[in-house]
Structure 1
Amino acid sequence: MSVENGDRDGYTGYLTTGHEWNGLKELNTPVPRVLYFFLTLAFLFSVGYWVLMPAWPLGVTYTKGLLGVDQRNLVTASLQEAALERRVWTAKIETEDFAKVQADPRLMAIVRQTGGALFGNNCAACHGVDARGGPGFPDLTTGSWLWGGKPEDIFNTIRVGINSAHPDTRVSQMPAFGRDQMLPRADVLKVASYVYSLSHPGAGELDPAKVEAGKKLFATNCVACHGDDAKGNPELGAPNLTDRFWIYGGSFETIDTTVWGGRQGHMPTWEGRLSELDRKILTLYLVDKRRAGP
C-alpha cells in the first residue's frame, strides 16, 4: 500500500489510501469530529425516546414508556372534544330560524364548509360542483327558483323532491303541445317565437307577425301556469319565461323543442337520505351560494 510507503498528497498533506482512479488518488482523511458529535447526539436521543415513549413490542403488549403517552387515548379525546363542539353548533342550527343562522358569521362559516361537503356528495352529480347546473338541471346560484327561493321553500323542495316517490312531492309537467297534437306545427313555432321574444326583446331574426300570433296562442294555452305576464308561478313550478335563466336552454330551437315535446323534470326526495339538520344546512348553503352568485 502506498500508505505504508508514506505516499502523501502534495496539495493537502494527507496520506493516500493507495487507491487510484484515472489519476485521482483517495485521501486517507480523518472522520470529522462534528460527525461523531451528531452520531452521539442521535444515539442519546434514541435511548431517551425508548425510555420515555412507547417503543418496543413485547408480544401482545409493548413498552409503555415513562411518560405513558398513548396515541389512541389522544385521538379518542380529540374526537370527543370535536363531538362536543359539534353538538354546540348543530344545536344552534337546529333550533334557530333561518334568519338568525344567516346573521351569525360563525355559524355561516360552518354552513359553507359542511354544506359544501354535503352538496358535493349528494347534489353535484346533477347540479355541478359549482351549483350552476346544466341542460335539464337548474342553476342554483341565480334568483330564479321554480318552487320559490325563500329558505323555507328550498328546504321543503329538498325534503319532498320534484316528481319523486315522496307522497307530498312537488308535481309539475310541461305538456307536449305538438307531440300530443294539442297545437299544429305552425302554431308551435308561433308560440316559440313569442316565448323567445320575451327573453330576447328586439331579436331581429323573429317574424313580428308570428310573435303577435304566438302571444294570442300563449294567452289561450299557457297563462294558466306561466301567468298573464309569463313570469311563472312558484306554486305550480312554472318557470319565469321573461328572464335569461333556462333549465333546458333558451335558444329558439330549444324552446321550440320544449313546446313541441314537453318537459318533466325530476328531483329525488332527500327526507329518507339526509337528516333534517343536513337538509337545513344544505338550504342555508344554497341561499348563501345564490347571494354570492351573479
Structure 2
Amino acid sequence: MSKQKDKNQVETTGHSWDGIEEYNNPLPRWWLWTFYLCIIWAIGYSIAYPAWPLAKEATAGLLGFSTRAQVADKIASFEEMNAAVDAELAAADVTEVVVGSDVHSYGVNAGAAVFRANCSQCHGSGAAGNKGYPNLLDNDWLWGGTVDEIAYTIQHGVRNETDDARYSEMPKFGADELLEDDQILQVVEYVLSISDQEHDAVLATEGAIVFEENCAACHAEDGTGDIYQGAPNLTDAIWLYGGAREDVQESVYNARYGVMPAWGLRLSEADVKAAALYVHNLGGGE
C-alpha cells in the first residue's frame, strides 16, 4: 500500500547529493522586494554621491556633495564671525594685549587650537615637552620667555633656513677635536658639580679651567647661560637633552642642534600671536 503524501510536507527541489535532498523553501516575497529595493537604492546612491574610489580620488557624484566642502563652509562661517577680533589681534602689539580682554580671551582659545594642530607633536599635548623638545610650562627659556620673545620664536623658529631665525651653534668639542678626551671628561665633571650632581671633585677642579676657556663665553662664567645666545643654564635641574653624565658628555662631544620651523611662513599673523598668548598663559615664561 503506497504512502499518502502529507499535505504539510515541504516539497524538495528534486536535487540530491549523496542521498541528501534540498527542500524547496523560497524566501518571502516581502524580503525579496526589500532586498531588490536596497540594490536599486545603492546603485542610485553611488551615482548621486561620491562613492567609487579611483586612482587619485573618488567619483564625484551627480549631486556634487562633499563633506570637505561642508567643513570648509563651517570654517568659513566661523572665520567670518571672528573676523573683527582676529584682525584686532593681528594688528595688536602682543605685549599690550590686556589679560581678560576679548582679544586676549580669543587669542588664548584660538592659540590652544593652533598649538594642538601644529606644536603638540613636539612639545606634547600638555606642552610639557620631551627629550630634545623644551618644556613650555616652566621658567627655563633658551631664547627668553616674555610673550613677545615667545611670539618671535614662533614666527621665525630656531636654526632653520630663514634669515631671522634664532640661531646659535655649539662647537663639537670632541668630534671636531677641539678638546682632548681628558679635557672633555674634566669639563663634564665640572658641569655636574655646578648643577649639584655627584661628580669627581679632582676632575671638576681641572674642568673649571676648561670651562672658563671654552664654554663661559656662551654659558656665562657661572654657567647660568645667556638667553640672547640660546645658551642654556647649566646650574639648574632642567636639562633639554638630559643631565646624566653620559648625556652631558654627548652634548660636549657632539653638540646639539635642535631645529624649529618658522611658523610665520605657515600661519597667519593672528595665529602666531594667538599661539604666543596661549603658551605664555600656560604659566611658564616671564
Within the alignment, does 1:235 sit opposite 2:234 as a pair?
no
Q: Which runs of 5+ in 1 are unaligned?
A: 1-76
Within the alignment, does 1:249 sit opposite 2:245 as a pair?
no
- TM-score, scaled relative to structure 2: 0.69
The partner residue of 1:218 within 211, 233, 239 is 211
The partner residue of 2:180 within 165, 181, 184 is 184
| Aligned residue identity for 1:128 | G
The answer as to whether partners of 2:165 and 2:262 remain within 8 angstroms in 1 is: yes
Which stretches of structure 1, 4 residues or more, deviate above 3 A after TM superposition?
A: 77-85, 105-109, 290-293
Change (3 A) 1:96 1:136: same
Within the alignment, does 1:261 sit opposite 2:254 as a pair?
yes
Spell out the pairing of 1:13-32 with structure 2 (5 A cutoff).
Answer: none
Residues 98-156 of structure 1 show CA distances to partners (whole Å, capped at 9, x for unaligned) of 34424225444333322111111111111111111111111111111111112221111
CA positional deviation for 1:224: 1.0
Correspondence for 1:193: 189
CA positional deviation for 1:95: 3.2
CA positional deviation for 1:197: 1.8
Correspondence for 2:267: 274
The answer as to whether partners of 1:114 and 1:281 remain within 8 angstroms in 2 is: yes
What is the root-mean-square deviation of aligned Cα atoms in Å? 2.6
The answer as to whether partners of 1:232 and 1:240 remain within 8 angstroms in 2 is: yes
**Alignment partners' CA distance in 2, 1:256 and 1:219:** 17
Spell out the pairing of 1:62-141 with structure 2 (5 A cutoff).
Answer: 82-83=78-79, 85-141=81-137
Q: Which runs of 5+ in 2 are unaligned?
A: 1-72
**Alignment partners' CA distance in 1, 2:133 and 2:160:** 15
The answer as to whether partners of 1:127 and 1:140 remain within 8 angstroms in 2 is: yes
SS of the counterpart of 1:111?
helix
The answer as to whether partners of 1:179 and 1:260 remain within 8 angstroms in 2 is: yes
**Alignment partners' CA distance in 2, 1:257 and 1:147:** 22
**Alignment partners' CA distance in 1, 2:79 and 2:119:** 26
Change (3 A) 1:126 1:239: same
| Aligned residue identity for 2:87 | A
The answer as to whether partners of 2:185 and 2:249 remain within 8 angstroms in 1 is: yes
| Higher RCO by CA contacts (8 Å cutoff, separation 6 or greater) | 2
The answer as to whether partners of 2:140 and 2:285 remain within 8 angstroms in 1 is: no
Correspondence for 1:174: 170
**Alignment partners' CA distance in 1, 2:95 and 2:167:** 28
**Alignment partners' CA distance in 2, 1:78 and 1:185:** 61
CA positional deviation for 1:78: 9.2
Aligned-pair identity in percent equals: 36
| Aligned residue identity for 1:224 | A
**Alignment partners' CA distance in 1, 2:260 and 2:74:** 39
The answer as to whether partners of 1:231 and 1:240 remain within 8 angstroms in 2 is: yes
| Aligned residue identity for 1:278 | D
SS of the counterpart of 1:271?
helix
**Alignment partners' CA distance in 2, 1:117 and 1:83:** 14
Provide the aligned length of Structure 1 versus Structure 2.
Answer: 216
**Alignment partners' CA distance in 2, 1:215 and 1:81:** 62
SS of the counterpart of 2:264?
coil
| Aligned residue identity for 2:162 | H
